[in-house]
Amino acid sequence: MTNQTPKTCPTCGTRLSENATRCLVCGRTFSTSTKKEEVTPVQNPKLPELKISLPAAIGLIVLVLGLGAALIFVILQTTGRVTTPTVTPTSSSTPTLTLTPTMTLEPTLGPTETPVPPQEYVVRDGDLCSSIALMYGVSIQSIANLNNLPPDCGTLYVGTRLLIPWPTSTPTPLPTATLSAAEATQQACGTLSYQVTESDTLSSISANYNISIETIKNWNSLSSDIIWPGMFLNLPLCERMPTQGPTPTATLLPPYQAASLLLPADGAVFTDVNATIVLQWSSVGTLFPTEAYAVTIEDVTAGDKRIVQYTTDTKFTVPTSMRPLDNTFHIYRWTVVAVRQSGTTDDGQPEYTVHGTVSTARVFGWSGTGGATTPTP
């Protein structure tokens, strides 16, 4: 048996059992625990402590910064200050992308040049690079480039094989400017620069150099006969007068300079067999009655067709005997040189010797196939 301690009601003093929860006399209720309640002392309030690790702290800081940046971005976007999203598509617009297809137009121009291999030509006796270029209708530079030659083709040897490009559409060369008679004469005339001394007069200079006073005044634009020491005069040697007296051959003039060929232009082409071709050149000076110009014309294509004609004029018409009558394209080469009569033949024709420098040769083409008439120069 267990010992039970009786419980006394504090109100009415009635003894009750240890497990009684209510007094049967006065009706007071009791708590189930009979032990004395321990009174805990009142302590001061204390804030809660939060302990986290270093990686967690760094992650929390990054998270806070990201949320702050996102919040600022949203605020700026709503106020209209954020323009970067609209700049990106405009800066990456496609003008440069649409221009790239146009660059493919340049290669399409290539097939228009020469799709076929060049022609081959064997150099013959008397051939020049200019005559070959004229024959095939191409430029001298194109032949030189294709055969790795100097710009003027250098020296051509008989039997050499040249590659000739196919002709391209090139504008017809314009004729060179025609000089007036006075300009051509002045350009071809040799002059001497003379400085006047104290004892000189215009008449003494005229007598010493056998040039008329009027000629000296005209060449130096003098309005009077007054000259002064130290003055420079241009004396035209080509205007010297013939020596008077019974022995005019005692003081012969030196050989003349080369004439400048004017027309037709070097490399000109005539397509009408009936065309009138006039050759023109500059004067080398005043010719004596026994002097003339020797004009040499050679048909380079024919090889053995060559004439030499004499004239005192500065132009000469190509005779009909030189016309190409075999319906082929011919190349002609011509030169001019001053000559002096050295005697006469048995039939009374004058004989001439060269008395000057031969001009630089020029060439022109003449076709006997008909076509448009080339205007006379």
Joined tokens for residue 108: 């399409």
115-164 shares its CATH topology with 191-250: yes
CATH match for 115-164 among 1.10.10.10, 3.10.350.10, 1.10.3720.10, 3.40.50.2300: 3.10.350.10
Architecture of domain 261-367: Sandwich (2.60)
For residue 180, the model assigns a pLDDT of: 59
* pTM of the complete model beyond 0.75: no
Domain range summary for the chain, segments of one domain joined by +:
115-164, 191-250, 261-367
For residue 295, the model assigns a pLDDT of: 93
For residue 296, the model assigns a pLDDT of: 92
Give yes or no for a contact between 166 and 116, defined as CB atoms under 8 angstroms apart: yes
Residue for token pair 């106020």: 79
Q: Is the dihedral of CA 226, 227, 233, 235 positive or negative?
A: positive
**pLDDT per residue as tens digits for the range 236-260:** 877 777 655 554 444 445 578 888 8
Mean local confidence (pLDDT), 354-375:
74
Give yes or no for a contact between 230 and 195, defined as CB atoms under 8 angstroms apart: yes
For residue 305, the model assigns a pLDDT of: 82
The pLDDT confidence band at residue 336, using thresholds 50, 70 and 90, is very high
**pLDDT per residue as tens digits for the range 87-109:** 444 444 444 444 444 444 444 45
The CATH number assigned to the domain with range 191-250 reads 3.10.350.10
Cα gap 253→29, rounded to integer Å: 171
Q: What percent of the chain has pLDDT over 70?
A: 71
Residue for token pair 């448009």: 372
